[in-house]
Amino acid sequence: MADHDIVPASAHSSAITRRRVLAAGAALPLFGILSGRTLAARPKYRFKFAGNLPMTHPINQRVKEILPKILEESGGQLEVRMFPNNQLGGDSDMLSQLRSGALEMFVLSGTNVLSTMAKPTALYGVGFAFKDYSQVWAALDGDLGAYLRGVIAKVNLHAFDKLWDIGFRQITSSAKPILTPEDLKGFKIRVPVSPLWGSLFQHLGASPTSINFAEVYSALQTHIVDGQENPLSLILIAKLYEVQKHVSITNHMWDGQFTLINGRVWKSLPENLQEVLARNFNEAAMREHEDLVKLNQTAETELTKLGLQFHRTDPEAFRSAVSKSGYYKQWKATFGDEAWRVLEKYSGPLV
């Protein structure tokens, strides 16, 4: 064996030790970087949050605002991603996804397709039940809201405490203004996919057609229907002024949206993450209430500039017409005495 092949034992050990230390030193930062990226890229819980409103609506703007907070306050464990404007399908499709767990969270009106699965969720949308916001929030922050959340829980969904505000709804038309109940006779009007909505306009003598919100503009543009009904904020945001000429202020219904989460998904969350998620969404909803009031205050001015003609009506004339037609008796029988008592606690007598 040549002399250069003979290495003293002590020197050999030192070389191995140095190599191990250097290798370990090189690996530690790489491990740290990789594990950090893995944690950041793959939170334990990754939820999809879907809805049917445009991204510009105050609801979506407020949700967008809280998503980084939820990720931070959950310690990187919970990430919520947004899919607004029917990106994941129509309301019926998204509700099916929610129930199966393919979609974790969905913001949806109780008067919409949700009511086809659990009828009493539409209770707050009874026509002309509420005259103003003081009645609305007293009901939904009180016994009516608690009752509705209980109904939703029975179909294995969880609803957060605070509803989002969509607003009081007004009627638009392309040809003539709607000034009295008689003006609705035979009027082809788009309504959401909801028995309660269709029923209200049938009792007023109109010809309602149920169409998902994503298809409203084209339905008006092609004259499948001659009018529709929505809050001023949505008429502005969805640019319905481009295909309508008149707005009649009827305040015929108030509508809001629940933040819904799949029941199994909700129960799988640790309590601390449930608290982070619920608190952020409830607080965002309260801020959105203020946003929508301000938006509706400016919407009439904007819509007038854009060419819509505004008309004031007497809501009591419409309420009297639906009462005489048997509308309230029909829905009291549908919802049941218990539900109707909770509603009338805030609306006053309807039948």
Q: How confident is the model at residue 212 (pLDDT cuts 50, 70, 90)?
A: confident
Dist. CA 158–CA 150, nearest whole Å: 9
Asked if residue 62 is part of any domain, the answer here is yes
User: For residue 205, which phi and psi values (nearest 5 degrees)?
Assistant: 90, 5
Cross-strand pairs, 256: 165
Asked if residue 131 is part of any domain, the answer here is yes
Asked if residue 207 is part of any domain, the answer here is yes
Q: What is the mean pLDDT of residues 22-33?
A: 36
Q: What is the pLDDT of residue 166?
A: 94
Do strands 164-168 and 105-109 pair parallel, antiparallel, or not at all (unpaired)?
A: unpaired
E strand or H helix at 36? helix 9-41
Number of folded domains that form the chain: 1
Three-class DSSP category at 125: helix
Q: What is the pLDDT of residue 345?
A: 97
Q: What is the mean pLDDT of residues 141-146?
A: 98
Q: What is the mean pLDDT of residues 176-195?
A: 94
Mean pLDDT of the chain: 89
Asked if residue 17 is part of any domain, the answer here is no
Q: For the CA atoms of 23, 28, 29, 32, what is the dihedral angle to 10 degrees?
A: 150
Got the DSSP string for 324-342? HHTHHHHHHHHH-HHHHHH
Say if residues 192 and 210 touch (Cβ distance below 8 Å): yes
Three-class DSSP category at 192: coil
- Residues 267, 342, 347, 326, CA torsion sign: positive
Asked if residue 4 is part of any domain, the answer here is no
Instruction: Judge residue 301's burial from the number of C-beta atoms within 10 Å of its C-beta, 0-12 exposed, 13-18 middle, 19 or more buried.
Output: exposed
Dist. CA 100–CA 336, nearest whole Å: 29
Instruction: Judge residue 305's burial from the number of C-beta atoms within 10 Å of its C-beta, 0-12 exposed, 13-18 middle, 19 or more buried.
Output: exposed
Q: What is the pLDDT of residue 41?
A: 60
Dist. CA 343–CA 325, nearest whole Å: 20
Asked if residue 29 is part of any domain, the answer here is no
DSSP state of 253: -
Q: What is the pLDDT of residues 50-101, one digit of tens each?
A: 999 989 999 999 999 999 999 999 999 999 999 999 999 988 899 999 999 9
Give the position of tokens 């929505």: 230
Asked if residue 34 is part of any domain, the answer here is no
Cα–chain-centroid distance for residue 287? Answer: 15
Asked if residue 7 is part of any domain, the answer here is no
Q: What is the mean pLDDT of residues 263-285?
A: 98
CATH no. for residue 119?
3.40.190.170
Q: What is the pLDDT of residues 92-127, one digit of tens each?
A: 899 999 999 999 999 999 998 899 899 999 999 999
User: What share of the chain in percent tops pLDDT 90?
Assistant: 80
Q: What is the mean pLDDT of residues 9-37?
A: 37
CA angle (53, 130, 49) in 5-degree steps: 25
Q: How confident is the model at residue 17 (pLDDT cuts 50, 70, 90)?
A: very low
Q: Which domain holds residue 87?
A: 43-347
Q: What is the pLDDT of residues 159-183, one digit of tens each?
A: 999 999 999 999 999 999 999 999 9
Q: What is the pLDDT of residue 27?
A: 37
